[in-house]
Amino acid sequence: MPERPLDHRLTDPPSLPAVIVVADDDRVSRDALATTLKNAGFKVVIAGDGQEAVELVGRGGVDLVMLDILMPRLGGIESCRIIKGMTNESFVPVMLVTVKTDTASRVEGLKIGADDYITKPFEEREMIARVEAMLRIKRLNDHLVSVRKKLERLSVYDELTGLYNYRHLHTRLQEEFKRAERYHGPLACVVVDVDNLRGHNERGGQALGDAILRGVADSLRRCVREVDVVARYGGEEFLVILPSTPIAGAMAVAERIFREIRGRVFGDTSANASTRATVSLGVATYPSQDINTKEALLRAADTAITNAKREGGNRIGVFQQRNTMYTPDTEPSSRYTDATARTSSDRPPASLRSKS
Ligand SMILES: [Mg+2]
């Protein structure tokens, strides 16, 4: 077995042999290739023609394909074209197998996307070296693809909780706000903040804090509908966007979240490193007299939760319009504000309770 290339450690798992499809209608030359490759430590899958090779690649898990030029049903050039069209992201190297004199096929094959060729009869060491060179490029490509996918994921999702991140949250809120404006529909926002996360972190280490955040994220997912948006809003804060939801529905969701989290144990119970936790919530809804932008909606939810926190946490704050009627006098009337944030302890005010 040859020495593994140095960059083999870039891929995991590192010890699996590369899978090579050998397509040739001539049994003698096919077996010669297959035996040499097997002896070099590769896993070989045989195909009798190009059609079979294309089907094998379509099933996935193939690292390299070797195609004879002249085959019944589907020849090497045509199968190469099809395979290259199938695998635009995951790079599957294609090597053509030609007779020495057939320069025209080699040139055509390379032009339509074949990555390399060998001539038959082949020289064993050179053939293996070429295969390994191709696999080296494939591994680098696979590595880059996986890094790019991870970056794409991180640009939308929060790594710890798997929820949408702050950036994507604003994109989604913008969309939902525009939709609500256009259709004059209600839109609710619920900010959820873990009470005293720092205390949990100090007591149980960051592992416990992270377990609480992941657990809260999981609870939030359970408490909302498919159309709702749940995102990580800050260090210990989450935001739930509830499209087409008026105040009563938003309160019902806030209460469900509140109870779900109170009924939960976070962390590792077997290692005696678990805890219970509570959250504070801030609810705001659009349309509302003072809420005409998504920023104002977020500010209102923030005001509501700030008041809930100020009252000691473990409760729900609701941003409400107060229907204020008064006769103006000559004194400045700054104590009358159109909008105030009220808080409630475990239960919201009766007037706001869900009808369900
Ligand atoms: Mg042939």
In the chain (356 residues long), the average pLDDT of successive 10-residue segments reads 43 74 95 96 96 95 95 94 85 92 90 92 94 96 92 90 93 95 92 95 92 96 95 94 93 96 90 88 89 92 94 92 56 42 44 42
Contact assessment for residue 217 and residue 238, using Cβ atoms and an 8 Å cutoff: yes
Contact assessment for residue 242 and residue 189, using Cβ atoms and an 8 Å cutoff: yes
End position of a domain, from candidates 119, 137, 153: 153
Give me ligand 1 centre to Cα 118, in Å. 14
In this prediction, residue 290 carries a pLDDT of 80
SS3 string of 279-347? EEEEEEEECECCECCHHHHHHHHHHHHHHHHHCCCCCEEEEEECCCCCCCCCCCCCCCCCEEEEEECCC
Same domain membership, residue 291 and residue 219: yes
Give me ligand 1 centre to Cα 25, in Å. 5
In this prediction, residue 237 carries a pLDDT of 96
Same domain membership, residue 174 and residue 323: yes
> Which residue, 207, 223, 310, is CA-closest to 268?
207
Same domain membership, residue 196 and residue 81: no
Per the domain annotation, does 76 fall within a domain?
Answer: yes
Per the domain annotation, does 236 fall within a domain?
Answer: yes
Per the domain annotation, does 321 fall within a domain?
Answer: yes
How many whole angstroms separate alpha carbon 18 and alpha carbon 44?
8
Number of domains present in the structure of the chain? 2
Give me ligand 1 centre to Cα 21, in Å. 15
Residue 51, C-beta contacts closer than 8 angstroms, at least 6 positions apart: 73, 74, 79
Same domain membership, residue 55 and residue 168: no
In this prediction, residue 326 carries a pLDDT of 53
**Which pTM does this prediction carry?**
0.61
Same domain membership, residue 194 and residue 132: no
Its domain, for residue 134, covers 6-153
End position of a domain, from candidates 131, 153, 175: 153
Per the domain annotation, does 1 fall within a domain?
Answer: no
R_g of the chain, CA atoms, integer Å: 32
Please provide the distance, in angstroms rounded to a whole number, between the alpha carbons at the two ends of the chain.
70
CATH code: domain of residue 149: 3.40.50.2300
Give me ligand 1 centre to Cα 69, in Å. 6
Same domain membership, residue 201 and residue 83: no
In this prediction, residue 15 carries a pLDDT of 67
Per the domain annotation, does 329 fall within a domain?
Answer: yes
In this prediction, residue 123 carries a pLDDT of 92
Give me ligand 1 centre to Cα 131, in Å. 20
Give me ligand 1 centre to Cα 106, in Å. 14
CATH code: domain of residue 274: 3.30.70.270
Same domain membership, residue 254 and residue 310: yes
Same domain membership, residue 44 and residue 130: yes
Give me ligand 1 centre to Cα 88, in Å. 27
In this prediction, residue 6 carries a pLDDT of 42
Same domain membership, residue 178 and residue 323: yes
Per the domain annotation, does 24 fall within a domain?
Answer: yes
In this prediction, residue 324 carries a pLDDT of 44
Per the domain annotation, does 323 fall within a domain?
Answer: yes
End position of a domain, from candidates 153, 181, 198: 153
Phi–psi pair at 340, nearest 5 degrees: -135, 160
Same domain membership, residue 271 and residue 175: yes
Give me ligand 1 centre to Cα 161, in Å. 54
How many whole angstroms separate alpha carbon 62 and alpha carbon 82?
15
In this prediction, residue 342 carries a pLDDT of 44
Same domain membership, residue 141 and residue 76: yes
Give me ligand 1 centre to Cα 114, in Å. 17
Same domain membership, residue 205 and residue 104: no
Give me ligand 1 centre to Cα 73, in Å. 11
Per the domain annotation, does 242 fall within a domain?
Answer: yes
User: How many C-beta atoms lie closer than 10 Å to residue 321's C-beta?
Assistant: 14
Token code pair at residue 133: 């060179």
